Structure formats: C-alpha cells, structure tokens
Amino acid sequence: MKKNGVRGNGGQTPVRYWDYLDDYRRNRGEILALVDEVFASGRLILGSRVAAFEEHFAAFCGCRFGVGVNSGTDALFLALKALDIGPGDEVITVANTAVPTVAAIRASGATPVFVDVEEDTFLMDVARVEEAVTPRTRCILPVHLYGQAVDMGPLLEVARSRKIEVVEDCAQAAGAVYRGERVGSFGAVGAFSFYPTKVLGGFGDGGMAVTGREDLYQRLRRLRFYGMEGGYYSEEEGYNSRLDEIQAALLDFRLPSLDGEIDRREKIAAIYGTGLAGVGDIALPTVGSDRNHQYYLYTIRTGRRDELKAYLEGCGIESRINYPAPIHLMRGYSFLGYREGSLPVTERLAGEILSLPMYPDLSTEEAERVVDTVRSFDGWRMGKG
C-alpha cells in the first residue's frame, strides 16, 4: 500500500520507522467525535475523562490507582517526590535509556548511580545492583527497555532486604508481562509515557503513575496540582503536571485495542526473527523465559551498524539508533564523574544497536521488504560481518 503519497529509492514507497496516519485514517470518525464531546463538555482539565482513564489503565496494569500527569518524565519525577527522595539520596538505574529517566532523578535533587546491563537483553544487570548500594541509596529505578521487563524477582529481593524503594520506568513497556503480572505493578510506583510513538500513545504528551498504595496515590494527586486538595490551598509544595481531558479520552479509546496491537507487534517481530536468523553478525533480541516482549522497538546488534543503517536509508527504509550515546558519557552529565570504560557493556552496545521499523500498521509486505533488504547488504557477503 502506498503511504503518504511519497516514493523512495527506485520508485518504491519508503518504509517508515513509525507512522500513525493509517491508524488515524481508520479511526478518524471516532477520534474527532471524542474531541468534539470533550470540547462540548465544558471541562478540559482533570474531569471525568481523566478519572475514567486513570481507573481503566490502573486496572489494566493490575494496580489499584492511577494518576494522570503531563509526561512520562513527570510520572517518574513525581513518584520520587512522593517517596520523599531528593538531595543527598542516590537512585540506582542504567545509562542505556532515554535522557528523561535521568533527568527525572536529577529534577528530584537525587543522584543517579549507574549499573551495567545484560548484553543479550540490554536490560539492567540485576546481579550488579547490590554492589552499587550505599548508605545513601533510597531507590532502585529499573528501565523496562524496548518493551521487555527487567528481571524483577531478584531485584525486588535486593530492594526488600535493604529496605529500598523501587520505581519502575515503564515508558516503553505498557502491557509487558513478567511472571504473569504487568509491569508497573511490582514497585511502589510504575511510571508510564503516552508520547505518540509509544505502544499506547496519544496525540501529544501524557503520562501516568500507577500504584497499589493509597498513601502514594493521594500524595501523587496533590503533587501534580500545586499540592492542593480540592480548594485553592496548597497542603504542600507541588507542581503543575496534569493529563488533559482530550488526551485521556483518546487514550481510553485506544486502551481496549492495546493487547491486539501487541500481538501484531509480536507477529512483525517473528517475521524479522525468522528472516534475519543467521544473517551476517546480527544478534537478534533475546526474550527472557519468564516474560514477554511487546516490541516497542525491534532492536538488533551488529558490528556493521552504521554501514547497514546507511544502506537501509539508501533503499528507502528508515531505522534509528536508540540510543547512540549512553547518558553517563554525555557532556550534560559529566559532573556525575563517570568515564569511558565505566560501563563496558552499555558502551559496547551503544555502538552496535539499530532499531528496525516497528508499529502495528507496518504491513507484512513491508516487514518482509525490510528483511530482504537487510539480507542483501553487501557487508555480509564481503566478509565484514
């Protein structure tokens, strides 16, 4: 199917890395009707639509409570604030993540402490967590990267034994399952992003913090709205971080389709996995035996990453590097004192990872074209892979 009326290399339609337009065209009537209903309701902020989506999404995650906020970053930040984590405290996390993970920790006033990751899953190496704990450690913040859960069982054992809180970064993993339970339900708080590209994405920014603890729920509600409860009176210092009614309505509309969209992502991943097995030096995503992978991203590894990326681009196929520089080596975080070689696995992966097109409306034909194009890359035949 020709998408967006644009033709790529050799007259072929480009294969987009991500695209929402087919989904919008298919659901345009319902989407516009929802927008009109919200506009006509007379309530645009923190109304019934937000309350309904909070209830439904929390239940989807297996949690009692949800608090809608304006971004995944704020969901993390407010979770840390609700736990009274701030200056002088340390939060253990990883450096192969989106900057917002670390930005939220720094916004709270706490200091991020990085541990390395597993080479096969790209996820926090839980075996390294306990050695990173100090008397200042207040929280462990695992990142469920690319759509797969961190090994939460042993991580929770460390946290409980050391009386350390756990806040889950679920921005890339809505719907991911570990040992039969959804991510977001394991720690004190699970933080989600509804940025448009996410597995459950809106038509703008949005986020949610989910929790099973009523004390944290009440505090999160205050913190997102200037520390207020009902009237115009701050019970504590708070912030402005509210999910608006339009985004809540649209996300609530999309939520019932989420499991089906995850199934479609898994089918696309199966096409990639079958077609790319044994090709060159490509390492395919590894899925833990006690969890699923909902493939927010389909990320491969290859020593010919940059050449392959350029080749795909020349063939009209978009790909991306998530993430090309680990946070501990970025100038903006040089004050943390990390140096090259501090996290060897993280640093090696940053030079090898490449994310292929992945979204539910990617057709089977497009996925097969990606496979055929990757297989045709000259670098494999030249013995460079």
Please, are residues 212 and 63 in contact by the beta-carbon 8 Å criterion?
Answer: yes
- Residue 5 clears pLDDT 70, i.e. is over it: no
Domain with CATH 3.40.640.10 in the chain: 26-256
Dmax over CA atoms of the chain, in Å, equals: 70
Residue 378, pLDDT score: 85
Residue 12, pLDDT score: 79
Q: Which fold has domain 26-256?
A: Aspartate Aminotransferase; domain 2 (3.40.640)
- Residue 384 clears pLDDT 60, i.e. is over it: no
Let me know if 283 is exposed, middle or buried by CB neighbors in 10 A (0-12, 13-18, 19+): middle
- Residue 2 clears pLDDT 60, i.e. is over it: no
Q: Whole-model pTM? A: 0.95
Read off the tokens for 340: 């090259």
Q: Give the integer Cα–Cα distance in Å for 65 and 82.
A: 14
Q: Give the integer Cα–Cα distance in Å for 105 and 90.
A: 9
Model confidence at 385, in pLDDT bands (50, 70, 90)?
A: very low
Please, are residues 252 and 202 in contact by the beta-carbon 8 Å criterion?
Answer: no
The pLDDT tens digits for 104-126 are 999 999 999 999 999 999 999 99
Residue type, 190: G
Return the percentage of the chain with pLDDT > 70, whole number: 96
Left (φ > 0), alpha (ψ -120 to 50) or beta: where does 117 sit?
A: beta
Residue 380, pLDDT score: 80
Q: Which backbone phi and psi does 335 adopt, to 5 degrees?
A: -65, -15
Model confidence at 230, in pLDDT bands (50, 70, 90)?
A: confident
Return the percentage of the chain with pLDDT > 90, whole number: 94
Mean pLDDT of 33-53: 96
The pLDDT tens digits for 132-163 are 999 999 999 999 999 999 999 999 999 999 99
What value does the mean pLDDT of the chain take?
95
- Residue 51 clears pLDDT 50, i.e. is over it: yes
- Residue 93 clears pLDDT 50, i.e. is over it: yes
Mean pLDDT of 238-261: 97
Cα angle, residue 119 at apex, residues 149 and 135 outer, rounded to 5°: 70
Mean pLDDT of 238-260: 97
**Does residue 167 sit in helix, strand or coil?**
strand
Residue 379, pLDDT score: 80
Show Cβ contacts of residue 355 under 8 Å, excluding neighbours closer than 6 positions.
17, 146, 297, 298, 299, 300, 319, 320, 321, 322
- Residue 383 clears pLDDT 70, i.e. is over it: no
Domain with CATH 3.90.1150.10 in the chain: 9-13+257-381
Q: Which CATH architecture has domain 9-13+257-381?
A: Alpha-Beta Complex (3.90)
Whose CA is closest to 342, among 117, 107, 133, 151? 117
Query: How distant, in Å, are the alpha carbons of 149, 188, 297, 310, 312 from that of 320?
Result: 22, 33, 10, 11, 11
**Does residue 298 sit in helix, strand or coil?**
strand
Mean pLDDT of 212-221: 98
Whose CA is closest to 210, among 31, 79, 359? 79
Model confidence at 11, in pLDDT bands (50, 70, 90)?
A: low
Residue type, 279: V
Model confidence at 9, in pLDDT bands (50, 70, 90)?
A: low
Q: Give the integer Cα–Cα distance in Å for 304 and 308.
A: 6
- Residue 129 clears pLDDT 50, i.e. is over it: yes
State the helix-helix crossing angle for 245-254 and 48-61, rounded to 10 degrees.
40
